[in-house]
Structure 1
Amino acid sequence: MSDTGRQDMGDKLSSSMKPESQKTMTEQATDKMKGMYDSVASTMQPEGQKSTGQKMTDGVSGNSNENSESMTDKAKDTMGMQK
């Protein structure tokens, strides 16, 4: 369950499962816009007002108003896939 106006974890997961090369231009643009909006919404929403599910989703995706590395980034870093 996501907070009002935030991207649902299911939407994020389904979007990330399909390779970019198989997405249409419209899907790519939509994903990018949703991601940007969700990132801004996450940063603006105080941690104390987020639901437990939204906090977990933000922690995994890296959308948080705390300056910490996301679990996804940590995994990529461990596997040598980071920048």
Structure 2
Amino acid sequence: MSDAGRKDWSDKMKEGITPDSSKSSQQKVKEAVTDTGDKIARGVQPDHDKSTGQEISDKFGRSKDEHVHGGTGESVMDKTKNALGLGDKH
């Protein structure tokens, strides 16, 4: 079960194990859009406001993104604030 407006972990798992070669272009586009929306929601909602399952899933997702893409360890909100010049001034 996922939190309202979030992608269910079982859907993520199914998408991950289905080879891209067997997906239609429409399915690939839908997954890309829903993945992006879910990543935004993951960064906006604090972990303490999430269900336990969603919190674990989000922590795993952040860890995977950090490993695969590298990064600063900042949340989406922190990156947005810094881009707008509203972040912490060290």
After TM superposition, the score normalised by the length of structure 2 is 0.68
Q: How many residues align?
A: 69
Deviation at 1:73, TM superposition (A): 5.6
Q: Distance in 1 between matches of 2:51 and 2:59?
A: 12
Aligned pairs (5 A) from 1:1-83 = 1-62=1-62, 70=63, 72=64, 82=68
Tell me which amino acid in the other structure corresponds to 1:61: G
Q: Distance in 2 between matches of 1:56 and 1:2?
A: 11
Q: CA deviation digits over 1:3-40, x for unaligned, max 9?
A: 11000000000000111121100010000001000000
Measured on the aligned residues, the alpha-carbon RMSD in Å equals 1.8
Q: Which has the larger radius of gyration?
A: 2
Q: Distance in 1 between matches of 2:2 and 2:59?
A: 13
Structure 1 residue ranges (4+ consecutive) displaced by more than 6 angstroms after TM superposition: none
Q: Which runs of 5+ in 1 are unaligned?
A: 63-69
Q: Which runs of 5+ in 2 are unaligned?
A: 70-90
SS for the counterpart of 1:30 is helix
After TM superposition, the score normalised by the length of structure 1 is 0.73
SS for the counterpart of 1:39 is helix
Deviation at 1:60, TM superposition (A): 2.1
